[in-house]
Amino acid sequence: MHGFANPARFLRLARWLMPLLLVPGLVLALGALAWGLLMVPPDRLMGDTVRILFIHVPAAWLGMAGWSTIAISSIVELVWRHPLAGIAARAAAVPGAAFTAICLATGSIWARPTWGTWWVWDGRLTSFLVLLFLYFGYIALASAAQRDAASGGGASRVTAIFGLVGAINIPIINRSVVWWNSLHQPPSITMGKSAIDATFLVPLLIGALGFSLIFGGVVLMRMRTLLANIQAEARLRRKAMA
Amino acid sequence: MHEGLNQWDYVVAALAIGVVGTLLLVGWSLAAMVRAERRRDKVKGK
């Protein structure tokens, strides 16, 4: 793991890995959406709105995966002081927030013709909205920590602790449809089991894989951006002191 | 479904938000990365 603590080695890896994630990711995600839109039959209960789930479900998974990435990277940053772990956590925040917002928006659009309402304050929807606000808080804190780091402060640890504490919301989102009465359906896919017919499941899984690859590519791009900014600031400081 | 709503309007709106949002995220991240790496190289005097 510490082999990648060297930014130069990481950048070499990121340069060839990034297109390998982004190009197949875009092809798979757009292909799965077209498959869901044009080839999948209407669902017996949901009708044509079932097609919205091919974007809504991957976005929900990635909203939660984004915060899981933040939490795991924060542990690595706090325990092993890995120099790239904090950068990985910060890099996952914006794509995580974007997919959480897409999940909430598409879910609301799906709910209107299916449930007859845009929004209900039930456990699943509310805990997911809380996740979006946690992302906003994390992004603001990380941005403040970056300015503080330039003046030699230790706000980076506060950001990592916030990332860890916020992870409490992930099992709450996951179990919310089991713990509380909800309009939202219970989990359709659990470990090794699925209640979804293969006609819907195959494009859904292909789409999830595609969007996950895009997410990975975006995280690598954001890591390269953050690293380049840090290197430029360090060089400017050295020049100013010389 | 409810109130005789046209489901396809909702399907198109949701997919548009998803696709445009994802493409904006990729494009914005790529532009920010190129800008930051250009600035770093300029500061380094490359």
Domain ranges of chain A: 52-187
Window A:181-220, CB contacts with B under 8 Å? 211, 214, 217-218
* CB pair distance less than 8 Å for A110 and B14: yes
What average pLDDT does this structure show over A95-102? 98
- Measured CA to CA, the distance from residue B5 to residue B25 in angstroms comes to 31
Q: Choose, out of A221, A233, A236, A237, the residue to mutate when testing the contact with B (most B CBs < 10 Å).
A: A221
Of B18, B36, B43, the CB nearest to A102: B18
Interface mutation vs chain A, best among B10, B12, B35, most A CBs within 10 Å = B10
- Is pLDDT at A197 greater than 90 in this prediction? no
Q: Which of A75, A231, A6 is nearest to B39 (CA)?
A: A231
CA-nearest of A53, A58, A97 to A209 is A58
Among A120, A211, A125, residue whose Cα is nearest residue A173: A125
The CA distance from A97 to A210, in Å, is: 18
| Chain B residues with beta carbon closer than 8 angstroms to that of A61 | none
Structure confidence at residue A8 as a pLDDT band (50, 70, 90): confident
Which residue among A59, A94, A218 places its CB closest to the CB of B18? A59
Task: Decide if B22 and A224 are in contact by the 8 Å CB cutoff.
Answer: no
The reply to whether A132 touches chain B by the CB within 8 Å rule is no
pLDDT recorded at residue A191:
62
Averaged pLDDT, A224-234: 91
Task: Give the number of A-B residue pairs with CB atoms closer than 8 Å.
Answer: 108
Proportion of chain A in helix, strand, coil states, percent, rounded to 5? 80, 0, 15
Residues in chain B closer than 8 A to A211 (CB atoms): 22
Three-class secondary structure assignment of B1-46: CHHHCCHHHHHHHHHHHHHHHHHHHHHHHHHHHHHHHHHHHHHHCC
> Residue B45: its pLDDT value, please?
79
Q: By CA distance, what is A42's nearest residue in B? A: B7
Asked if the Cβ–Cβ distance from A51 to B15 is below 8 Å, we say yes
**pLDDT of res. B3:** 60
Enter the pTM of the model.
Answer: 0.91
pLDDT confidence bin for A163, thresholds 50/70/90: very high
Give me the amino acid identity at B38: R
> Angle between the A198-241 and B7-44 helix axes, to the nearest 10 degrees?
30
Give SS3 for A122.
Answer: coil
- Mean per-residue pLDDT over chain A, rounded: 90
Partner-chain contact A113 B2, CB within 8 Å? yes
Interchain CB distance below 8 Å, B29 and A214: no
pLDDT tens digit sequence for B21-38: 999 999 999 999 999 999
Which of B11, B15, B26 lies at the smallest CB-CB distance from A22? B26
Q: How far is CA A220 from CA A9, A21, A141, A224, B42, in A?
A: 13, 9, 21, 6, 22
Dist. CA A193–CA B31, nearest whole Å: 41
Reported as a pLDDT band with limits 50, 70 and 90, residue A206 is very high
Q: Is it the case that residue A242 has pLDDT exceeding 80?
A: no
Q: Is A41 on the interface with B (CB under 8 A)?
A: no
pLDDT band for A180, please (50, 70, 90 cuts): confident
Q: If you average pLDDT over residues A89-108, what whole number do you get?
A: 97
Q: CB-based contact (8 Å) between B46 and chain A?
A: no
Could you tell me which chain A residue has the CA closest to the CA of B39?
A: A232
- Mean pLDDT is lowest, of A64-78, A144-158, A213-227, for A144-158
